[in-house]
Structure 1
């Protein structure tokens, strides 16, 4: 018997939807409303300011990015 998956609904304020040019704009807005994402970004910024961040070359190598 196939399982039934619940649909997830995302709600945007009309002004955000009307002014967004791309899907990325909508994604940016969603991330800006996510407390866990904001917490992680603040920690990353703090670590970077305190010199505990990774340099771009090291990150690219770790993530196999050219």
Structure 2
């Protein structure tokens, strides 16, 4: 059984009732939705690859670039 929640006027978001019943927080539902999103999974895999290959920026450089103290 699925439960449907409307997502503004652009469409619907559907997830299994078991997920809705076992989620403790809104963040749990968001986590499940992201885990079902192929585009998000591709981005996370790419980010992980970049991290393994040390293509990312270190925290100090990023803070300086973004003017964060």
TM-score, reference length from structure 2: 0.72
Unaligned runs of 5+ in 1: none
| Structure number with higher relative contact order (C-alpha < 8 Å, ≥ 6 residues apart) | 2
* Corresponding residue for residue 3 of structure 2: none
Deviations 1:13-34 (A, max 9, x none): 0111011011000000010000
* Corresponding residue for residue 45 of structure 2: 42
Q: How far apart are residue 12 of structure 1 and its match? A: 0.9
Structure 1 runs of 4+ with >4 Å offset? 60-66
Q: CA RMSD in A?
A: 2.2
Question: May I ask how many residue pairs the two structures share in their alignment?
Answer: 62
The structure whose residues are more often strand, as a share, is 2
